[in-house]
Structure 1
């Protein structure tokens, strides 16, 4: 790995170092991470899974994602909002997910908060994309040192505070920034990663909600 955080894969392509050449992580890096998301259910899924990831590795969550989807009705927040104590117990008994009561209860709570957010803004996508940082708020070079030095940003702090004010939980500024990176609100593929220009091209033609 170079000082910039770029590694060369077996296919000769330059990538961000964090996928560690693990096949499932590699696929996530190449095909999903950082690519703009405007679908409300997928946005809800991503912010919930980032909450579950708190204190754990993302790879652990990624490998359990299909189990999470099965446990939480595909992250359809209209359905999750109606979960009750029996559903909490069911999830706590599910060895395929992270059996953390607080995070399970948080997902149900956040589903209810997501409905309120949609009612106010028309969609979750409209709310989150409304916080897209301007060019003057982004670094001129996105390299490993920048990422390591900035686990949060002013924008993630603002979103976190607003979500908490609205009753969301497990949405601290570090979690929110990881969500912003994952759903493409920012392009944090490193300079030199083959995905970076692909994501920039997608962002250039994206119709913001």
Structure 2
């Protein structure tokens, strides 16, 4: 989806480089230095307006979180939210998820979140899906031996594709939820903006947790 350019976005990013970066590859292997404490690092790819990553950082102060968002205007909106909360365990990246294995060294990230990723439903766009095998290889390159991926989506077709892709790549399934909000897992679930929108319409939210 095309996002309208916001003239305030770039200046806001430029003024807050201690929280957000457009050159994440410079910090590969040294991300802990951007946080107040050395803790496990969890990364969300496609952080949107930041509701999930900020919520997770508030809920889990024992974990360092990094949100990646390719659309600069959207990343700047997430930055606004992060600035209002002043969380020492939160960083943002304005960049593309497809380059993630240039942003981090092997084992630097403990867990990856894929929330309501673009399903790219057309067959010719399969390679753009964030659960395509080349993306899974990139995730494997930065995660430790048993690194975890969590995925949430409202799109049944994308969910089924992702389960197949995970299985073909050799990931081990920890658990699969076909209706997250009707399960016990929802008691500790931190919602995204899209998740609230779709669940309010009565659509089931699918989730899978798997590890390499």
- TM tier, shorter chain? under 0.3
Higher Cα Rg: structure 1 or 2? 1
Higher strand share: 2
- TM-score after normalising by structure 1: 0.22
Higher helix share: 1
- TM-score after normalising by structure 2: 0.22
